[in-house]
Homo-oligomer: A and B are copies of this chain.
């Protein structure tokens, strides 16, 4: 409290001497109209925006910054947008014909759901890169994959009493939207206008199925994929926020992909937690050593990172793939990243839409080559080398690739036990043309790779080891679960 008071007192003194850009730029007439009501209706929304860069600088001013410090990548921003701040109307009335939810709102053609294509008006490069990001395709990658469809029903289905097994009542849309699709994104659908009671009386507003949602692969009402707000939350759209690890945590904290947990228990995370209040998360470019002393998720995989003098360490990429050689979660076996971000097209030798066969061998035609992996490894390790020697980095990497190998071996052992259960009719799966996720023993099997092998790999990749690879859902639990599978099969096999 005392500190805040000081800040305020100091702020008073300093504000008088603020540089010119701190004076708010002009607002468009349309945005002024929006604010007329919405400032009173939803002040949180408006104040978030008011604290944003969007409110404090015009695209025209932003375009004057070029080179590494540039925060805007389009060179063809319409002149009508260049001289006012980026306010409500600038985004919510863009490209009205493209959006199915465009409606007449007090004389303005407004759409509710702003899409990456709208953002591309000023941020064309980022939008294009994001289109190559596997996360932008998260909806289709999940929904159009038959194996995942089986898994999703197994998870989201409402179990009912059944004969040999419990039966799963298909999940409804509300359940789907807050389960897998919360992160993967929903498919939005415009269902017409309807009158809503508001503080200003009844107003005709769009009904949108699948709304709200900010999933990374949301199917928008202009047909585009993704939501920039998944990382840059509305209406501040902050780069600083996206560079902090909490952003990624939202979808990468669960036991299937424990990146955040592992990070905060790593040396990098320790340093981040202890010191991040003194770092600069808004600097562009982001200088290793001076702006931050330990990397966050963004530093390793996304951000434009330079050395203090300005030498580029890593180019900014909203595709992420240039700094991702291996895919280490979500599937039975770790494997090289897919070539195409649309992964439902993949077929393994058995014809299943999986990037490996059930014995772990890769469906290589669909995966990047060793050469491409090496290139990406180089891109990623360039960040490591900002603070570590090559020997250090090599030692880390050798352990990580060993861990990919041994966790794949563990999955193969578990898969063998499940096959034994199927072959002896202790459970029904592939040989019986039945679900591979709807019985207890099958769920133990999926725990093995989806939870435990993933923990071990993330602990290795992000932490260089530690408890999430051992007791915290790691090797200790992996081996207990494998023994449980063995025990289960053994005790049910006919006595010989």
> A residues touching B (Cβ–Cβ < 8 Å)?
1-4, 6-7, 9-11, 14, 17, 40-48, 51, 112, 154-162, 164-166, 168-169, 171-172, 174-175, 177-183, 196-198, 205-208, 211-212, 214, 233, 236, 238, 240-241, 244, 246-247, 249-251, 253-256, 264-267, 269-271, 273-275, 277-278, 280-282, 287-290, 293, 307-309, 311, 385-392, 395-396, 398-399, 402-403, 406, 409-410, 413, 416-417, 438-441, 443-444, 447, 450-451, 459-460, 463-472, 474-476, 479-480, 482-484, 486-487, 490-492
Complex Cα spacing A274 to B402, Å: 35
- In the complex, are the beta carbons of B172 and A465 less than 8 A apart? no
A337 to B314, CA, bound (A): 50
Q: Which residue of B lies closest to A265 (CB)?
A: B253
Contact of A51 among B2, B44, B211, B392 (CB under 8 A): B2
A293 lies within 8 A of B47 (CB): yes
Instruction: Provide a sorted-by-A list of 27 A–B residue pairs whose CB atoms are within 8 angstroms.
Output: A6-B11, A9-B17, A43-B288, A47-B288, A158-B409, A158-B410, A159-B413, A166-B483, A166-B486, A175-B406, A179-B474, A182-B466, A182-B469, A182-B470, A197-B390, A205-B389, A205-B391, A212-B396, A236-B293, A244-B273, A249-B270, A250-B265, A251-B467, A254-B468, A255-B471, A256-B471, A439-B483
Q: A293-B236, A466-B250 are in contact. Are A154 and B479 (CB under 8 A)?
A: yes
Q: Inside 8 A of A172's CB, which chain B residues have their CB? A: 402, 406
Pair B307/A475 contact, Cβ less than 8 Å:
no
**Are A402 and B240 neighbours in the complex by a CB distance under 8 Å?**
no
- On whether the beta carbons of A178 and B274 are closer than 8 Å, the reply is no
Residue from B3, B233, B439 within 8 A of A270 (CB atoms): B233
Q: Do B265 and A387 have beta carbons less than 8 Å apart?
A: no
Copies of this chain, count:
3
Closest to A163 in B: B490
Nearest-neighbor residue (CB-CB) of A254 within chain B? B467
Also in contact, A51 and B469, with CB within 8 A (given A246-B274, A486-B440): no
Chain B residue nearest to A483 (CB atoms) is: B440
A212-B395, A240-B274 known; 10 new pairs, CB 8 Å cut-off, are A1-B238, A43-B287, A161-B417, A166-B486, A172-B402, A178-B464, A179-B465, A250-B466, A439-B487, A443-B479
- Is B159 touching A482 in the complex (CB atoms < 8 A)? yes
What residues of B have a CB within 8 angstroms of the CB of A174 in the complex? 398-399, 402-403
State how many angstroms separate the Cβ of A34 from the closest Cβ of chain B.
12
Contact B47 A251 (CB under 8 A): no
Cβ–Cβ contact A249 & B265, under 8 A: yes
Q: Which of A198, A256, A466 has the most CB atoms of chain B within a 10 A radius of its CB?
A: A466
In angstroms, Cα B301 to Cα A305, docked, is 39
For A307, the chain B residues whose CB sits under 8 A away are 40, 43
Find out whether the CB atom of B182 lies under 8 angstroms from the CB atom of A47. no
Contact B211 A395 (CB under 8 A): yes
Q: Judge whether B390 and A475 touch: CB under 8 Å.
A: no
A282: nearest chain-B partner, CB-CB: B1
